[in-house]
Amino acid sequence: MKKILLFLFALVQLSIVAKAQEKFIKGMVPKTLIEQKVQGQPMVPGQTPKKSNTQMRIALGSDERLLGFYTTDEYGKTPLGYGATYYLAGAEFTPKEIGRMVGGEIVDVRFALYQSIGASKVYIYYVDQNGDIVEACDPVSVASTKAGWNEVELPSPVMIKENTNYIFAYEVNDMAKGYPLLTDKSINPDGTTEGGLIVNDGTGWYSTGGAYGNLCIQAVVKGGDFVNDDVSMKKLSADKYAKSGSEMQFKFNICNIGLNDVDSYTLKLYIDGAEKGSFETPVPLTYDMQTLVATVTVPDDLAIGEHALKLTVDKVNGVVQTNKYDDHEQQTSFIVYQNAMEKKYNLIEQFTSQQCTYCPLGYTILNKLESKRDDLAWVSLHCSGMGNDEYFFNEINYLDAFENSSYPSASFNRYYVSDYDVNSSFTVALPLGYPEQYADQVADMFSDIIDESCSKIPAFASVDISTAYDASSRTLNVKVLNEAVDDFDKIVGDAAVTVYLIEDGLVSKQYDQGRWDSNFEHNHVVRGILSSVLGDKVTWTNGKSEKDYSIVLDSDWNPDNMSVVAFIGRPIVLQGQTFATSVDDAYVINTNKVNLGGTTGIENLGVDNSDSKEVARYTIDGVQITAPQKGINIVKMSDGKVYKVLVK
């Protein structure tokens, strides 16, 4: 018998959908798409209402199914509008998303609205073999609409063809200043897909690229390739990094889509194609998607680098699944490593503005966080999105555009948090505008996020800083030294170093909850970015890298209040005017900081042993030397330990 894996599961109610592929609609929607936040302050941990476990599902016939990016009766919370007097709002479904619906007939379409749009029309299109968008039936008029679901019965059913893309859309008239659209991002955060929200303003179809979630629109399909006992599995993901021989966490989404209740089911787990075990019916299934979180021990014989994790549906109600659909098999990857280094500091990038009335709340939260930890390298980026700011400079716009969507906010090691309750905008930076009475609780939450980032993203390289300041010329020279673990290229790949120059104790104006404070103390203010704003590419020589920077301080900067913060992490790649880097791939792996004129001290690669003696010495590029040499020396000891030593 094969060994049954032991799993620890946590359940979270979610609506989910597989990521689409081969979308017909391309391009980004024009920036006239606007979003109105209906929530006030960000939700506070422990204060967020939990979703009911009660199944929410439209009444269907025995041979009917819902086609949508999720299949419950819920709809989103955040309204959207499009800046045009007339447009079509729709969603595109690929053959992969349609799945078992082939051969069935679309008999109803329903769409959810934030507010009435008066009369409307519903359209169904398909994409023909020439790539043209063709009406599948005549538009269906809707005499009136309402907030919530609007259900429209088709006069004649539309047959779903094999290997065909379909578009469902409804008409919006004279609503340029309104916010009638609803998307599923608040209830189906992991289900975002390109083509899930598209608009046509008469000049063509545009896709939001998943930035706002999927349009709350569904179809009722009668018939199709359904079986009595069936489940759907989506969105398998795993920890990015897993240490050989240790436990690795993974999660996936699963629900019942068959005609019968699911009393039992069997899933099998594979690593690099080799079956590693199975598990039996970990949770009861309903038509609501559930997220299951589990752990598995990583075999200690796996090589350093990337590996494949696969999960398959084997049996449902004791019946072996011979018809393997796309959602019967999910695959993801993870990276195995052996060694990591000490993480010196954790990077906080605060996004703020003198013009932002709630930004002082961000300082309150981060000051509280700083009082709880001694491992923070906090930098404050003053942005221009709210208006003029005396501490803003143009390079900050790039970081603001990539990481942030609102003020005040902050990123923590540029670690991406996918939890909607914490990160409703799904950006790198998290909102800081919590009421002051929750400061302690929120600071604890961010501290937990930092700890999670450290456990999920180990330090695979060190960062050391040496500075020299000439007061007469006000010239600051900075040397940043990095050393990587073995096989860094297989573990992290490309990396970049970024260097900030920050200043404390700047007293000037700040808008604060409706009034101007002319004596607000701004700390951690980024005065300059010595590297490229998106980081300088790291080139390794024998596992080491060294970069030099220089800057002349402005006459009104106080060097006694200034520090240098340097960090290494994944690069942010800009292609033309578009970021090619995803929000979950810009993480920081190590950070360090030092006051002007100081040095961080050189990273000790071993454990000090007073009985050990020096047996060899090398320069930073690996050349052996017979005596100490100015700069960084690599010292090998008789007990096998190796040290880096700064010789002045």
- As averages over each run of 10 residues, the pLDDT of the chain (648 residues) reads 28 22 47 52 42 55 86 86 89 88 94 94 94 94 95 96 95 77 85 87 85 92 86 92 94 86 93 92 84 90 96 93 84 96 96 95 96 96 93 95 93 93 88 92 96 96 95 94 96 98 97 95 97 96 95 95 98 91 96 92 42 73 77 72 64
The pLDDT assigned to 57 comes to: 61
The pLDDT assigned to 54 comes to: 38
CA atoms within 13 A on the CB side of 326: 14
The pTM for the full model equals: 0.79
Identify the three-state secondary structure at position 309.
strand
The pLDDT assigned to 156 comes to: 95
The pLDDT assigned to 413 comes to: 98
How far apart are the C-alpha atoms of 571 and 586, rounded to whole Å?
6
How far apart are the C-alpha atoms of 325 and 588, rounded to whole Å?
38
The pLDDT assigned to 643 comes to: 65
Length, in residues, of the chain? 648
How far apart are the C-alpha atoms of 535 and 569, rounded to whole Å?
9
Q: Are strands 241-243 and 329-337 parallel, antiparallel or unpaired?
A: parallel
Neighbours of 610 (CB within 10 A): 4
The pLDDT assigned to 193 comes to: 82
Cα 426 to chain centroid distance, Å, stands at 6
Task: Give the burial class of 437: count Cβ atoms within 10 A of its Cβ; 0-12 exposed, 13-18 middle, 19 or more buried.
Answer: exposed
85 phi and psi angles, rounded to 5 deg: -80, -20
How far apart are the C-alpha atoms of 108 and 119, rounded to whole Å?
18
H helices within 300-340, ranges in order?
A: none
The pLDDT assigned to 639 comes to: 65
The pLDDT assigned to 273 comes to: 95
The pLDDT assigned to 22 comes to: 42
> Nearest CA to 255 among 462, 21, 70?
70
The pLDDT assigned to 606 comes to: 34
The pLDDT assigned to 2 comes to: 25
Q: Are 65 and 104 in contact (CB under 8 A)?
A: yes
Beta bridge partners of 324: none
Distances (CA, A) of 363 to 374, 397, 447, 514: 17, 21, 15, 16
